[in-house]
Amino acid sequence: MSEEPLYERLQKIDLGNGVAEHDNLLWKCMVETQHFTDLLYDRIDLVLGSKGVGKSSLFRMFGELLEERLLKDWKTVVVSGVETKGDPIFKAYAENFQKFSEAQFETFWRAYLLGLVYNKIFHEERIATIFAPCTVELNNFKKLYDDLGLIDVGRVDSLTKLLKLICAFAIAATEGVKAAWDIEKNQLIFGVNIREKIDKGYTEVSIPDLSKMDTVLCIDALSNLAQKSGYKVWIMLDHLDVVFKRRSPEETRALRALLKILYAFTSDHVRLKIFLRDDILDSISSESDEPLAAVSHITARSGPNLKWTADSLCVMIMKRLASDSWLSTEYGLDVSRLNDVDYARQSFQKIFAFKYVTQHAFDWIFSLITDGRGVVTPRDLIDLLKKALHIQSLWLQKHPGKTEFMTIPAIQEAHRELSKNRKETVLQTEFSHLMHWIRRLERNKERYKKDELPPVFGTDADKAISTLQAIGVIQFDHKKSCYRVAKLYGAGLQVYATREKKNV
């Protein structure tokens, strides 16, 4: 049998997926960052970072991949509060959420989170076994939960179904409307869907008035139960940037309310763990008529913004490359040494085998996907190299005599595609309200002297420049004393390079 051609080898290399929910290499190729360690040792409750930087990867590690180990070795029960593999179930109730005040959202979150924990403790067999011996504390928690009038949905095996049932009940209770149980469909309906007289096939559900709900005693009882059992309870929430309509008033009210109730879950035994984009925290805490009070207390147990160094990203991507058996054998990679930064860098250069001017391959690639804040995300690195492998494979098919694993033109073409994609999926989607400024940079220069950029934006220049710097579209180069469009976005915005005139 003839040896498989290189282009086919490249097609088979699996670098995983930049989106955590679909990443089959997440655990196998994990890099233990400081945030991972801080979460494991329960030192932080609020994980902040840019889109694509790895918050959802951490959420999936602790909420799914490490769930069994946390329970066994760390005596920690993890309760997941969001559906990560499909459309968030909250989207189905967008019209209800639009009417909620911030105070009502606080009520909703308390009812929702308590409902999730209650179901875990009483209806998940292995967890119920843990708490069953604590009879007094268990009964007290149950009594106080029942006294609040919160729902017991029974055993529900589907997480999506469970989240939807508890969410629907919490909304109905917050709105103070009637509800009924659809026996055939096994779901809760409420509000305008309820007929004046419940017909056959529907069972009326008692909905409490939660307008004056005081959950303090119930949460304290939960903490006492956890302490008695010797276990911790972690409630984890992620994907909060897609739960509510982006940059809407209801998103601001909902997430401000959620951050406020962090106070309610700060015992040593019951914690609320929130994974949130840093730009969203900035917007909901400052872009409101009423600034979010006590931000310093809310962020007291947050780590620094999640940010990857070039070294840690090199280790991460080399682990993914080395997971391919052909590649590992072909280049003599010692997988056990890949946590060593120097070895990881040497291995990357050995495989990619080129320099861009004076830069080694990885440093050049890193510079291409850096935004104006100096942030590079694992998602962008993975996506860039996946595109480059595909492009290089196509090139090798047309040039069967060539043997290069990777070439500079393949990286450059992949970068153009990535940059265009970032423009369409991040700038135009996430920052559509800023596109009137961003378009002024499009098909324009890459670099601007200090006095050249303000005229581009006119009377809004100061605000435009500071805002675009804050979201990483432009940066100020102190060495050359000029502004420049970040390389991550430059190709997508079709900016052109200019050379400085030399004095003769």
CB 314 within 8 A of CB 344: yes
Q: Which amino acid is at 488?
A: L
- Asked if 259 and 317 sit in the same domain, the reply is no
Domain assignment of residue 316, yes or no: yes
Among 264, 298, 332, which residue terminates a domain?
298
CB 54 within 8 A of CB 44: no
Domain assignment of residue 168, yes or no: yes
For residue 166 the two structure tokens come to 């508890």
Domain that holds residue 375: 310-490
Among 298, 330, 365, which residue terminates a domain?
298
Among 298, 326, 355, which residue terminates a domain?
298
Report the b/e string of 155-186 with b at 16+ CB within 10 A: ebeebeebbbbbbbbbbbbbbeebbbbeeeee
Domain assignment of residue 9, yes or no: no
User: What pLDDT is attached to residue 346?
Assistant: 98
Q: Does 501 have pLDDT greater than 80?
A: no
DSSP code of 453? Answer: S
Domain assignment of residue 2, yes or no: no
User: What pLDDT is attached to residue 85?
Assistant: 66
| Range from 84-98, 246-260, 412-426 carrying the lowest mean pLDDT | 84-98
Domain assignment of residue 375, yes or no: yes
- Asked if 251 and 161 sit in the same domain, the reply is yes
- Asked if 329 and 372 sit in the same domain, the reply is yes
Beta strands in 206-333 (DSSP E): 232-237, 270-277
pTM of the model as a whole: 0.88
User: What pLDDT is attached to residue 1?
Assistant: 36
Using a pLDDT cut of 90, give the percent of the chain over it.
65
Domain assignment of residue 498, yes or no: no
- Asked if 223 and 94 sit in the same domain, the reply is yes
Q: Which residue has the higher pLDDT, 211 or 341?
A: 341
Q: Does 193 have pLDDT greater than 80?
A: no
User: What pLDDT is attached to residue 159?
Assistant: 82
- Asked if 245 and 316 sit in the same domain, the reply is no
Domain assignment of residue 504, yes or no: no
Q: Which of 59, 89, 97 is nearest to 257 (CA)?
A: 97
- Asked if 243 and 265 sit in the same domain, the reply is yes
The number of folded domains in the chain is: 2
What is the CB neighbour count within 10 angstroms for residue 27? 13
- Asked if 319 and 263 sit in the same domain, the reply is no
- Asked if 452 and 348 sit in the same domain, the reply is yes
- Asked if 86 and 206 sit in the same domain, the reply is yes
User: What pLDDT is attached to residue 245?
Assistant: 82
